[in-house]
Structure 1
Amino acid sequence: MTAAATGWVPVVCAAAAAALALPVRPALRRPAAAAAAPSVGWLHRHRLVWSLLAGIGAVVFVQGRAGPAAGMVAGIVCWVAIGRAEPADVRRRRDAVRRDLPHVVELFGATLRAGSAPAEGIALVCAALPGAAGDRLSGVASRLALGLDPVDVWSSLADDPQLARLGRTLSRAHATGAPVVASVERLAGDLARAARTETEERARAVGVKAALPLGLCLLPAFVLIGIVPLVVALLATLEL
């Protein structure tokens, strides 16, 4: 690659480093929208910079006439891959909803057992257990408080991966006239068992994943203590 072609690479890299170092000014939004919108991670925030760096790296690596084409392909692939990656904030909120949901449903069942109406009970739960699950259910509580059809309100949760079971259970109970308390308590038991099973599976997975690093750590000691003395003794025997 010629000097003219490579001269701009340090300049672009320096500009990219400066762009990554500059603080990002938050956009001015209304308080409600700011609370509802998840924050964008640094990977998505600097999506263009990473794509440019990937393209530059491909150009420098490939060189020749195929360098620009390789850089364009690498930049596009990096742009698409980052766009499809799930932001860390979204993943954390999803995990928080899945972790809090058994407690939310259990407390909701307790309020229903105490005689509260579903609209009042879900509002009490959202106030008592603030968090990711409570934030998502606060809209349901507001719509129920306005007197909307409970079947339609609970059915609106069908598109939520974490709250779909709760929505289906409540909408089916209201549509068929089944006891709401029994349905909610049964769902709370199912969610609690699923949470315990998931915790046990994660604990077992930790042991399996830790086996390889521990084995690699013990391998040098095994070689030095078990194999090296045998090899030295064998060589000494052969020399004799």
Structure 2
Amino acid sequence: MGDVLMPLAIVGLILLAGSRNDRIVPFRRMNASASLHIPLILELLAVALRQGSSITRALDTVAQVVDVGLGTAVGKVTASLHQGVAWSESWALVCDDASYVGQACIVLRDTLEASWRLGTSPLPRIEAVISQLNGEQRTRVESQAARLSIRLLLPTALCFLPAFVLLGVIPCISAFAQGLFA
């Protein structure tokens, strides 16, 4: 899945960023029902950071292409960071709820915090979080597939078992009985 997300992220940011100056190519926002997944958002962020953007500039760029709720929340964070508000205080307002926006903001905050405070490259941490989230998603999908196969087995057995008994077992027993009593 990561192999598919990376080219998509690169193309998206190339279209978005255009050049390294502050000019941003206008891009239509996605609606809330078509919200991007958190690993894809992190991939977009990683592409922007690889191109030399600062953390706040990369967050601004990604905020313009994600759904309106998350984009607005990240935009508020970057605006407060530009005003000199501390990292944890900037994220405190948008990470409160348990919705998709709150969860995405918590992941972004936790992923980028060490880089913001210590000045280290955020790319290794972003890649580790993407790998972890993709692994969790894969595990979740596999467990749901296992549950689905069990749920499908019962109706299938209830349909095929009577047919097997009527078409297979009963004729064999009657043929055996005829041979035995004849």
TM exceeding 0.5: yes
1:90-146 Cα deviation digits (max 9, x unpaired): xxx7xx76x71111111111111212222222232232233xxx6235312223124
Q: SS where residue 128 of structure 1 aligns?
A: coil
Partner of 2:120: 178
Question: What is the TM-score normalised by the length of structure 1?
Answer: 0.48
**Which protein shows a greater Rg?**
1
Unpaired runs of at least 5, structure 1: 1-34, 37-92
Greater helix fraction, Structure 1 or Structure 2: 1
- The 5-angstrom pairing of residues 74-93 of structure 1 reads none
Q: Does 1:153 align with 2:90?
A: yes
Partner of 1:205: 147
Q: Does 1:136 align with 2:82?
A: no
Determine if contact 1:107/1:125 at 8 Å carries over to the other structure.
yes
- The 5-angstrom pairing of residues 43-82 of structure 1 reads none
Identity %: 27
Superposed displacement of residue 162, structure 1: 2.9
Partner of 1:114: 51
- d(CA) in 2 for partners of 1:158 and 1:115? 31
Determine if contact 2:56/2:78 at 8 Å carries over to the other structure.
yes
- d(CA) in 1 for partners of 2:103 and 2:119? 24
1:26-77 Cα deviation digits (max 9, x unpaired): xxxxxxxxx99xxxxxxxxxxxxxxxxxxxxxxxxxxxxxxxxxxxxxxxxx
Name the count of aligned residue pairs.
Answer: 144
Letter in 1 for 2:169: I
Unpaired runs of at least 5, structure 2: 1-30
User: Which of 88, 103, 113 is 2:40 aligned to?
Assistant: 103
Question: What is the TM-score normalised by the length of structure 2?
Answer: 0.61
Q: Does 1:226 align with 2:168?
A: yes
Q: Does 1:196 align with 2:146?
A: no
1:132-175 Cα deviation digits (max 9, x unpaired): xx623531222312433233223552654733333222234323
Q: SS where residue 103 of structure 2 aligns?
A: coil
